[in-house]
Amino acid sequence: MAPKLQQFVSPGKGNGVQATASIRRGELVYSAKPLASCVSNKLSKEVCHHCFTRRETLLRCSQCKMARYCNITCQKRAWCDHKRECKCLRSLLPRIPTDSVRLAARLIFALLSPSENSSEELYTLEEHESHLSSMSEQKKQGLSHLASMLQLYLTQEVPVQEMTSALPPSCQEPLNLIAKVTCNCFTISDGELQEIGVGLYPSLSLLNHDCRPNCVMVFEGTNLQLRAVRDINPEEELTISYVETLSLTEDRQRQLEDQYHFTCHCQRCDSQDTDRLMLSGKEETQSLLKEALPKLEDLKAESNWQALLENCRHLLSTVGGDVPEENLYKLRMTDHAVDASIQLELWEEAVGYGKKTLPAYRQYYPDPHPVHGVQLMRVGKLQHYLEHIKDAFDTFRQAYEIIKVTHGDDHPLTADLLMKMKECHTEMDQHSSSSH
């Protein structure tokens, strides 16, 4: 694939990426393997540390007892990346360093033994910003703590002399390195958009943010794919969203400032276009829903599905009628209700909540977006399971219109979706032939 993109200086934003030719909606713009990546601690028992596939049973590394693999093949392939990490992990047992420390260490190992794939990068890590100068004292302290952890973690495996002689000057200082890693790492997600790990893709860190971006990123294993969700003209800047776009201007801006150290001046932020709709409905009810959300998120984190569903049910049935489905807080609550009822295998209830979210998703995602496509797929699968075949087919068809753009025809998720559509089709044929 001849890349249709190049580094340029974006007015007001600094470094960025622009198109060098016309790019069609749905086109794969760039795909990249990570310079370094790791499965997040939270999911380390459920995901293969080599191919990032989720599996019920995984083989455990007999030495560190932390890394897990699908099979011996994945374990063998992972060894050159895991060898040094394994020793470091063992040296700290039973403590396990945070994801960013493990990722920074993996980055150091990768830089100390560079492979052939590092040549085609548009952009290198040395050029990355650490934003240390614009950081709050509190944040700097948090990073210093991680930096000491990193040094402790690496003590036996990477002596300071080795680090200083082999690494580019900007990566030698642990605090600087940790700051760069936390600012520039990408969350790797699976087909259901659950976070499974973190990775560094230096060239793609160059992409600037827009709250209504013209590109989206999806993953296949650890491979990152950047696709256009609108037609893009030559010289136009390519953008992604660093944050959840389904949120209020104020919240997006705060997150961008806290995490990425800039103020967004995109068109959505300037016009605050969707805020009014997201905050529609009776004000007192909205604050009730808003205040309940953190507690619901805690219940979700604890996998306390029963309590989560009961709380959602109660609030949605007692006060939910005062605000429309488009209300952001109500939408989030309805989404929690979908998750909880799926976990509790209450399929009818799940499909009822799921269907309520769809018109709001359609409004808030004017361009094809993975989150919207995956939500449609979830509802379609529930409808299919409940044998609402015609509804299921219709929902899958809407999902396909999105997924074919965001994931492309070769992605396993698209194949899965097409298979579901075919199943529905066959079942509809059977129904119509048996009724005659």
Q: Is 96 exposed, middle or buried (0-12, 13-18, 19+ CB in 10 A)?
A: middle
Torsion of CA 399, 405, 406, 409, to 10 degrees: 90
Contacts of 380 (CB under 8 A, 6+ apart): 392, 395, 396, 399, 420
Cβ 61 to Zn ion shortest distance, Å: 3
Residue 185, interface with Zn ion (CB under 5 A)? no
Q: Interface residues for Zn ion in 81-100 (CB under 5 A)?
A: 86
CA 3/CA 122 separation, integer angstroms:
10
Shortest distance in whole angstroms from residue 64 CB to Zn ion: 3
Token look-up 């007001």 returns 12
Which is nearer to Zn ion, 8 or 260 (by Cβ)? 260
Give me the least distance between CB of 76 and Zn ion, in Å please: 11
Q: Tell me the C-alpha to C-alpha distance, in Å, between residue 412 and each of 39, 54, 218, 409, 423.
A: 20, 14, 12, 8, 17
Q: Which of 143, 264, 299, 338 binds Zn ion (CB under 5 A)?
A: 264
Q: Does 73 bind Zn ion (CB under 5 A)?
A: no
Interface pick for Zn ion out of 5, 17, 32, 61 (rule CB under 5 A): 61
Residue 106 or 356: the one with the smaller Cβ distance to Zn ion is 106
CB of 211 to Zn ion, least distance (A): 3
**Interatomic CA distance for residues 250 and 62, integer angstroms:** 48
Q: Out of 50, 128, 372, 420, point to the residue binding Zn ion (CB under 5 A).
A: 50
* 3-class secondary-structure state, position 216: strand
Q: Does 110 participate in binding Zn ion (rule CB under 5 A)? A: no
Closest to Zn ion by CB, 217 vs 269, is: 269
Is 374 among the residues that bind Zn ion (CB under 5 A)? no
Residue 67 contacts Zn ion per CB under 5 A: yes
Q: Does 279 bind Zn ion (CB under 5 A)?
A: no
- Integer CA distances (angstroms), 31 to 121, 209, 243, in order: 11, 18, 20
Whichever of 210 and 339 has its CB closer to Zn ion, that residue is 210
Q: What angle do CA 123, 125, 130 make, to 5 degrees?
A: 120
- 196 part of the interface to Zn ion, by CB under 5 A: no
Binding footprint of Zn ion on the chain (CB under 5 A):
48, 50-51, 61, 63-64, 67, 70, 74, 86, 211, 264, 266, 269
